[in-house]
A and B are shown apart, each in its own frame.
Chain A
Amino acid sequence: TAGITQAPTSQILAAGRSMTLRCTQDMRHNAMYWYRQDLGLGLRLIHYSNTAGTTGKGEVPDGYSVSRANTDDFPLTLASAVPSQTSVYFCASSESGGASDTQYFGPGTRLTVL
């Protein structure tokens, strides 16, 4: 069972370059999320999408953009990377985004911006 896949697994990126992190889920979940995880800070929400065609800003959205053209895919784009965006990025999905909804996480992308 695939669940949620992310690509690439890891990447080293020069500052100023752009990059898109890919996320695909095969569970037909309506809601999808992007988090970054930094040591000592825990997971922080970057952007989310409650359903295809809609997106919203999370706690730390600056420097990132997302799109949700269909149910399965939720790419995260860094338009001009900066070293502070070095982090581990996790994509997650949930059935509806409701109160008792459980989020399921992808394997993560480790990004280093130099």
Chain B
Amino acid sequence: GQNIDQPTEMTATEGAIVQINCTYQTSGFNGLFWYQQHAGEAPTFLSYNVLDGLEEKGRFSSFLSRSKGYSYLLLKELQMKDSASYLCAVRNGDYKLSFGAGTTVTVRA
């Protein structure tokens, strides 16, 4: 079975840094994705990790440790528009995505 855990909610101040953790136990592993979803909208792709280490893309970075079944998404220089849900998803052995329940990030002024 698939088990993907991430915190339900996080709150941070504009300009700060927030780290969203994701732990997973899946049948097979073919990469980990992070998506951003604003309220009432579709998920949009943020990042993909398949090898251990850090992938940096502007203000957002994503880290993966396959041996620990662990990833995090790092959001730097937070802006109000970053208030959204962040979804961790693992591509399992049959190439299908299994999603966590999502972490709602609220950015306060």
With an 8 A cutoff between CB atoms, is A90 at the interface?
A: yes
With an 8 A cutoff between CB atoms, is A2 at the interface?
A: no
Provided the pairs A100-B31, A105-B42, A108-B42 are in contact, do residues A43 and B99 lie with their beta carbons within 8 angstroms? Answer: yes
Asked if A99 and B91 make an inter-chain contact with CB atoms under 8 angstroms apart, the answer reads yes
Task: Mark each residue of chain B from 2 to 30: 1 if its CB lies under 8 Å from any CB of chain A, else 0.
Answer: 00100000000000000000000000001
- List residues of A whose CB falls within 8 A of some B CB: 35, 40-45, 48, 58-59, 90, 97-108
Inter-chain CB contacts under 8 Å: number: 49
Asked if B95 and A43 make an inter-chain contact with CB atoms under 8 angstroms apart, the answer reads no
Asked if B50 and A99 make an inter-chain contact with CB atoms under 8 angstroms apart, the answer reads yes
Asked if B48 and A100 make an inter-chain contact with CB atoms under 8 angstroms apart, the answer reads yes
- List residues of B whose CB falls within 8 A of some A CB: 4, 30-31, 33, 41-45, 48, 50, 87, 89, 91, 95-102
Q: Which of A59, A97, A104, A108 contacts B95 (CB 8 A)?
A: A97
Q: Which of B30, B45, B98, B101 contacts A102 (CB 8 A)?
A: B45
Asked if A104 and B99 make an inter-chain contact with CB atoms under 8 angstroms apart, the answer reads no
Q: How far is the CA of A97 from the CA of B101 in the complex (A)?
A: 22
Asked if B44 and A42 make an inter-chain contact with CB atoms under 8 angstroms apart, the answer reads no
Residues of A contacting B98 with CB < 8 Å? 45, 59
